[in-house]
Every structure is written in C-alpha cells, then in structure tokens.
Amino acid sequence: MNAAPLSSDQRRHYDERGYLLLRGFFEPDALKAFDERFLAIVEGRVEPAPAMLVMKDIMVAKGAVRPGSAPEAIAKVQDYHEDPVLYGEYACSEKLLDQVEGFIGPDIKTIHTMLINKPPDVDGRHPLHQDLLYFPFRPADRIVASWTALEPCTRENGCLVVVPGTHQGDLRKHENPDWEWLNLGYFGAEGVDADSERVHLEMEPGDTVFFHPLLIHGSGRNRTRGFRRAISAHYASAACRFLPGAEPVAGMRPYLLVRGHEHEGCI
C-alpha cells in the first residue's frame, strides 16, 4: 500500500520546522519483522550481512557494564544495506519511498542505514548535532532521514530531541563533548543556546519522523529497564554532487539507487 502524499500543512511544517512526525506509519507486523531480525542477528541465529557493523555500546566495550543478554550489549546495527529484511522491507519500502520522494524528488539513493538499540544501564546519549556533518555532498535540501520507533520512545528512555527551525541555518562546527562515556564518532554542534526551543519527540511503535540533515537533534539517556529501539535510513537525490575534493575513491561503497534514475557525475 502506498502512502498518501504530503498535505500542504505537512509540507509547511517540514519546511518551517525541519521535521515531520507521522503517527502509526508502519503496521505492527512490519515492526515485528524488523525487531525479530535484529534479535536474530545479535543473538547469533543469523549471520550479519557482509558489510554490516554490529556495534557494542562504549561502556560495554570498555568493561564498565557487563550486559545480561546479547541485546543489552549492542548499541547499533549499522550499514544493513545487504540485509534482505531490514533493507528490503524497511529502507526499500514503497510506502516509505513515496514519502521520501515528496521531500527530495524521484531519483532516490540510500546513503546510510542503521538500527539503533539503546539498552538500559549505559549512558547512551547522543549530543545535539547535524547529520550533514557526515555527508560530503549537496544540496542539503535533497537529503532526508527517516526514523521509525520499534519500541515506545519517551523522555525517560532517551527519545529524539530536535531544535525546530535550525535546518534553516548553516552547518555548524562540531566537536566531541567532554563526556566520560562517548562514542568518538559522536560530535556535538557548537553554539546551541541552552534556552532554545527543544521538542522531545515521544513516539509509539510505528511512528515515523522525517527530518532535514541540518536540523539539530540528539537524544538522552535511557533511564528505564527496557530498550529504546528504532530503525532509520538516510536518503539523497541521485542528482546530489560531491563537494570539491570529496569525490569517492576507488573501492568506496557506492550509494544505492532504490527509485528512479542515475545521474552521471553525481553521487
């Protein structure tokens, strides 16, 4: 079943605030398949896809926390683009791609994929940042993220936090915050006003948020005994072009076309 096109009010909300939350976007059966696939991977019942990274939380990796189960050790499954369930049924979902097309146009490539699992008993924060920091191509308006809750996401378990309207600014300087437990790949944007408007996106399973790569966002600690689990994908128009000096080198994984046409000389 294809998704309904964005209404004028929904598009206006995204353009003005940098994100759009659609409630109940995925059905429970789809969520169950994603959740079961994640558990099968981290419990060793299914081999990870060749390029997939199964990443331990930093506190687990450094021995500060001893997990009680396999899922409690894992913070993220990244680059699932060769997994037939996570990629084939989530990132390539026609319903999802219909919405993505409404944001970035008809020629769509996946550029990053991950399933985030925030277990109990770890710090697990992600500093406020902009995703465009990680993407060496432009224009930014032709890039969008999707993020779907697999478990209830609340302020208590570290839901997404966004700073509305920040997508209308520039890419800020980022640096590692001075935290005791921090994944070194996590950077925080400088100059975020402590009094700025922040919206905590509390979400139920199936709720999906789409957001701009310049939108400042992050997440807090999981202070519960359960998991805060979500699946996400980033997309870009196939017409995006690499920044000067950032062209891909030989052997780099090509971004994967999932809808539309390739554009010569582009990503």
- The token duo for 212 is 């701009």
Domains of the chain: 8-259 (2.60.120.620)
Residue 74 sits at φ, ψ, to 5 deg, of -100, 130
Percentage of the residues of the chain whose pLDDT score is greater than 70: 97
Amino acid residing at 264: E
Write out the two tokens for 39: 């558990």
Torsion of CA 228, 61, 33, 113, to 10 degrees: 90
Give the separation between CA 234 and CA 109, rounded to whole angstroms. 9
Give the pLDDT confidence of 174-214 residue by residue, as tens digits: 998 888 887 777 889 998 987 789 999 999 999 999 999 99
**What pLDDT is stored for residue 177 in this prediction?**
87
- Alpha carbons 121 and 124: distance in angstroms, whole number: 9
> What is the pLDDT, as a whole number, of residue 200?
97
Residue 106 has what pLDDT? 96
pLDDT of residue 182: 76
DSSP state of 203: B
Instruction: Report the predicted TM-score, pTM, of the whole model to 2 decimal places.
Output: 0.95
Outline where DSSP puts E strands in the chain. Answer: 19-22, 53-56, 74-78, 108-118, 126-129, 137-138, 143-149, 160-163, 174-175, 188-189, 199-201, 208-211, 216-219, 228-237, 241-242, 256-259
Residues of the chain with pLDDT under 70: 1-3, 249-252
pLDDT of residue 194: 74
How many secondary structure helices (H) and strands (E) does the chain include? 5, 16
Look at residue 156 in the predicted model and tell me its pLDDT. Answer: 96
pLDDT at position 196, please?
83
pLDDT of 12 reads 97
pLDDT at 243: 94
Task: Tell how far CA 115 is from the center of its chain.
Answer: 8
